[in-house]
Homo-oligomer: A and B are copies of this chain.
């Protein structure tokens, strides 16, 4: 089970890193910027979570796999980016899987560090979406997370993180609860993309 989680988490890191590398290439960053943006996109959310809960040094700096994955993703993207752009849907599916896993593992870790369910769920969401926000800030884009023309991204993350936090605090802990919440986020996000669900914006007077 732990090996399965690790495998999925590394897949999520890879997907996030590819999205960072693609953005860097689109913005004409040099190869240093490509690796940098891949690494920050993939690891930024988890580093922020670990710094906030006091779990220093963050796991990204103690587990070599976390560290080499973004470099590998950047290298692959550097050479194969036209093919990857054609595989945009595949990248989005991986990204949704990474979102689900990161939100759940972030929430569970925050609960283990003594946070209440609501703040733990928020930190789970930070883990899942933080890297993408940093990617967009560094590339001088309005964060994709908040653009009204994007399909629901944070809403699935919040729903899944709250679910796992509430189940956990009612003693329904374990791999099945976690896996279920991760699948919930994953499927919710895929359906939102397929059906083009958007979050509302504030109304405006004519």
Contacts and interface: CB of A to CB of B under 8 A. Distances in A.
Interface string A58-81: 101110100100000000011101
A133 B138 contact: yes
Interface residues of A, number: 59
A3 to B, nearest CB: 22
A168 interface: no
Number of copies of this protein chain within its complex: 3
User: Which of A52, A115, A133 lies at the interface centre, i.e. has the most chain B CB atoms within 10 A of its CB?
Assistant: A52
Interface string A190-202: 0000000011111
A122 interface: yes
A61 B142 contact: no
A175 interface: no
7 contacts: A51-B51, A60-B119, A61-B119, A61-B122, A82-B205, A138-B143, A138-B146
Interface of A: 24-25, 27-34, 36-37, 47, 51-54, 56-58, 60-62, 64, 67, 77-79, 81-82, 113-116, 118-119, 122-123, 133, 137-140, 142-143, 145-148, 150, 153-155, 198-202, 205
